[in-house]
């Protein structure tokens, strides 16, 4: 129903406003300021003082939608309504697993469609199917690497999906649908001040450093001692600080994701 509603809204705005219809290419890659090199680990220090080296960082982006709605001034929001107000100005409705350590533009498998109405924000969908489905098996984040601080080392791995493992109780018991799973699968609003044009390229840049900004690796679950390995739990009900912080970092609307248009 979410996809249908957006499709109807999108088609309506294109057919009735008189603005030009456009098609465009969409790509994704590691953020250019990372200094990432394809096939090479990425090292950085987090705000909490952990030295991190990533050997894998892959994010599944199921779709992108663009809108006239102004982005909020709040930074790092992790929960937003499933239906954002405003007029849809464009969409890329084909999924891509983005290698966030590769600066090479990775094309989405479908052409983007839109209009030249002014765009102010974007929504990024972390799902491969129905955004309202009760369960979802797609892995939306895969990371591997090591973290260290004060002589202690945490080799770590994470594999996150957003399905029944992420269901949380409703905000109001009298309204069982008041905390829908779709809110956790949509990152929005991401600031994107642009005007789409025929033949343009929309570039999504992913900065995996931002995923780990608030993570305290000392709270990770150890799953092996020989060799040592720590794991981020993929379940809200049993999550520790590190698990929750990484999941919230993945879904932050400020920091991990940036969009630009080139012509």
For 205-249, what is each residue's pLDDT tens digit? 999 999 999 999 999 999 999 999 999 999 999 999 999 999 999
Determine the pLDDT at residue 252: 97
Determine the pLDDT at residue 263: 84
Determine the pLDDT at residue 148: 98
Residue 49's CB is within 10 A of a number of other CB atoms, namely 8
- Residue 19 Cα to chain centre, angstroms: 29
Domain boundaries, given as residue ranges, for the chain: 2-262
- How does DSSP assign 168-215, residue by residue? ---SBTTBTTSS-THHHHEEEEEEEEEE--TT-EEEEEE-GGGGGTT-
Determine the pLDDT at residue 81: 63
The pLDDT tens digits for 134-191 are 999 999 999 999 999 999 999 999 999 999 999 887 767 776 666 889 999 999 999 9
222: CB partners within 8 A, 6+ apart: 228, 229, 230, 231
* Measured distance CA(171)–CA(118) in Å, rounded: 35
The pLDDT tens digits for 76-132 are 545 556 776 789 999 999 999 999 999 999 999 999 999 999 999 999 999 998 999
* Measured distance CA(45)–CA(213) in Å, rounded: 9
14 has a pLDDT exceeding 50: no
């Amino acid at each position: 129903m979410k996809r249908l509603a957006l499709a109807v809204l999108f088609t309506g705005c294109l057919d009735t406003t008189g603005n030009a219809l456009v098609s465009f290419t969409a790509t994704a890659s590691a953020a250019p300021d990372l200094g990432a090199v394809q096939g090479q680990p990425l090292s950085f220090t987090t705000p909490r003082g952990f030295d991190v080296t990533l050997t894998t960082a892959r994010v599944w982006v199921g779709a992108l939608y663009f809108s006239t709605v102004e982005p909020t001034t709040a930074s790092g929001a992790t929960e937003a309504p499933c239906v954002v107000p405003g007029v849809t100005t464009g969409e890329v409705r084909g999924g891509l697993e983005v290698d966030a350590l590769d600066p090479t533009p990775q094309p989405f498998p479908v052409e983007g469609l839109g209009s030249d109405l002014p765009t102010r924000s974007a929504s990024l969908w972390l799902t491969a199917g129905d955004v309202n489905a009760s369960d979802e098996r797609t892995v939306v984040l895969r990371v591997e690497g090591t973290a260290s601080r004060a002589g202690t080392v945490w080799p770590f791995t994470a594999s996150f999906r957003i399905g029944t493992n992420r269901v949380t109780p409703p905000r109001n018991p009298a309204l069982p649908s008041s905390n829908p799973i779709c809110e956790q699968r949509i990152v929005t609003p991401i600031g994107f001040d642009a005007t789409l044009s025929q033949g343009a390229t929309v570039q999504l840049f992913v900065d995996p450093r931002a995923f780990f900004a608030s993570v305290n690796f000392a709270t990770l679950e150890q799953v092996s001692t020989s060799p040592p390995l720590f794991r981020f739990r993929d379940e809200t009900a049993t999550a520790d600080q590190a698990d929750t912080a990484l999941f919230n970092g993945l879904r932050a609307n400020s920091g991990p994701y940036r969009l630009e248009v080139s012509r």
